[in-house]
Amino acid sequence: MDDIKDEIGIGTRYNAVWGELQRLRKDTLGYSHIAHDGTLNVPSSPELTALQGKIADRESRLAAADAAIVAIQNALGSYTSLRALKEAHTMHANTIKSAPFSAWELFRMGKDLAWEKGQHITAMPSEMPALLDGYQTQEDALKAGVVTAQAAIIPLAAALATISAKTGIARDVLGE
């Protein structure tokens, strides 16, 4: 869990709030004492009440941050880190964005290959499969890659949006 805190940029602040909570808890020890009969005596005072209020505030802030971190870990799913999720999203986005260029390159290479074989093709891209063996297979593979990337990017984008929202919540409750 510490890795994800550092990865989303709240590790230092989380640890600072945790350390402050520990210090506040130690400070409460000065308000209690053991009586002669062995019972714990905690007299009521405004200072102790204020201290307990600060402790409750820090505990609730850490609990809210922990809940956000758990939601982030759930959103990551099978990815081991936020970086891995972002890389997968980028890879699929690049596949989608580069598809027109890749299709053009496939068409150009097909024409160049035909030229090398002595054929002078003046066909449009839609006519290439009928003229060159294997062109349709390559075109189908390119289309399948784009369809796969389009399907895969939707849940990745949703996970990134969830992580962004939960990171904002964690930062807000920790005071960053």
> DSSP labels for 118-149?
T------GGGHHHHSTTHHHHHHHHHHHHHHH
pLDDT attached to residue 31: 76
Cα-only R_g, the chain: 30
The ranges of the chain with pLDDT < 50 are none
pLDDT attached to residue 90: 97
CA geometry: angle 82, 83, 88, nearest 5 deg? 100
Helices (H), ranges, 9-45: 11-28
pLDDT attached to residue 135: 81
Q: What is the pLDDT of residues 104-118, one digit of tens each?
A: 888 888 778 777 777
Asked whether the CA dihedral 41, 47, 53, 57 is positive or negative, the reply is: negative
Q: Cβ-count burial of 94 within 10 angstroms (0-12 exposed, 13-18 middle, 19+ buried)?
A: exposed
pLDDT attached to residue 65: 96
Residue 10, token pair as written in the block: 């709240």
pLDDT attached to residue 1: 55
